[in-house]
Chains A and B, each alone.
Chain A
Amino acid sequence: MKTTGGSEGRDLRDRLRELKVDAPDEGFSASLHRRLVSAGAPDTPGIWRRLWPSLRTEPRLLWPAFGIAAGLAVFLVLGQLHDLSRSHGGAVVAQFPATKVAVVRVNLTAEVAVESAHIRISLPEGLYFWADGQELPQRSFEWSQPLHAGDNDIPIAVRGQTPGRYRLTVSTRIGEQRIDEDVVLEVVEG
């Protein structure tokens, strides 16, 4: 068999198409059924998981539409860290208009990969988490996740109804080590 160029490409694709053969069931469906039944109902996503997919899949809608993003960086220096609290001293990190949704990107920067970090993000009265086109009643999220060495970007969508300054708090705990970080967001008329 000697073919070259385009005909060789077509030959390969023809051969690959020949692989599209349905295998006989031979008990596959029955076995899958047993495993599905014993697995129980689908998992209920935590509140963080409810937010995360919508933010991941709609960034092009969120970012240009509102044009506002506040950056908050939390730096984790493992091995040197003890209980630590930091505040941005009341300085406004970002402004966004009332009735608009803003994406706040929390960037957790770790020196080394971390198997499990417990993260809690809290909002004051007047600011709301936003998902599925509506405000959520929860005032805080907390969840555990691994962190990669380097940047770990966590976008969250928030909205404020009334102009004013609001302090958002991010707490990150790894084992006995903990960082509390505050950032001030300003909601303006708009």
Chain B
Amino acid sequence: MRVASGDDIDLLIEKAQDGDVRAFETLLAEHLPRVRRFARGFAASDSDADDLAQEALLKVYKSLRLFRYQSAFSTWLYAVVRNVFLDATKSRAGRERSREESLQPGHTRDLAGGAPADERLDREEERERLWRALRQVPSEFRTALVLFDIEGRTYDEVAAIENVPVGTVKSRLSRGRSHLRRLLGEAEEGERSVPPAEPGTPAVLPSSHLPRRGS
């Protein structure tokens, strides 16, 4: 899959609007990892997030003839994707998707007992903890946090995607960060209050109060 650039994009859009799947996939190439990541904000597991990302991209494809070149293609794409994600949070399937899985006893013991783990695992756990916390932030703040703080989009770009003024984006970011900080603070507080589990004793931790390793 190659990445489209410059004048290619209009031609690819035209072909994709006529049903050329390959052209659509070329248009999508650079966005796939970002859309999958965006979906992590709305689904608890990797496979559910991928399923949701595919649903959203199918919607983009089926709606492609509504794209009127009145914004950048990527702005339109993320606006459609965001709407699918927000709609999904309201549906029963979406609620199932975003339901956090309880930790496996072995995993919990490892976290609570502070067993040595390599750095890569440490980072993965930290990321997973952040995603869990993010999924608890109200969705309108969450989308701004993902697009701005994680994906590095500008205020203007986020405003265009969310169809709100820049001031609203800034306010959502501020409130979203406060919310997230509070959730993470509670999690770290929980970590300090959970005693190490005895060997063979499964420690049960609420998913939103996962301890943070190494802090």
Contact = CB atoms under 8 A, between A and B. Distances in A.
A20 B151 contact: yes
Interface in A63-89: none
A130 B162 CA distance: 27
Contacts of A1: 188, 215
B180 A29 contact: no
A12 B137 CA distance: 14
Interface in B118-151: 123, 126-127, 130-131, 145, 149-151
A179 B177 CA distance: 50
Contact of B36 (A28, A42, A54): A28
Q: Looking at chain A's contact residues, is the secondary structure mostly helix, strand, loop, or mixed?
A: helix
Contacts of A31: 50, 54
B43 interface: no
Nearest to A132: B68
Interface in B42-77: 46, 50, 53-54, 57-58, 61-66, 68, 70-71
B105 interface: no
A115 B19 CA distance: 31
Interface in B15-50: 16-19, 21, 24-25, 32-33, 36-37, 40, 46, 50
Interface residues of B, number: 44
Interface residues of A, number: 35
B1 A12 contact: no
B17 A57 contact: no
Given A45-B66, A53-B66, A12 B180 contact: yes
Contact of A35 (B40, B58, B65): B58
B32 A9 contact: no
Contacts of A54: 68, 70
A42 B181 contact: no
Interface of B: 1, 16-19, 21, 24-25, 32-33, 36-37, 40, 46, 50, 53-54, 57-58, 61-66, 68, 70-71, 123, 126-127, 130-131, 145, 149-152, 177, 180-181, 184, 188, 215
29 contacts: A12-B177, A12-B181, A12-B184, A16-B149, A16-B150, A17-B150, A19-B40, A19-B127, A19-B130, A21-B37, A22-B37, A28-B36, A29-B1, A29-B32, A31-B50, A32-B57, A33-B21, A36-B25, A37-B21, A39-B58, A41-B18, A41-B19, A42-B16, A42-B64, A42-B65, A43-B63, A45-B65, A49-B66, A132-B68
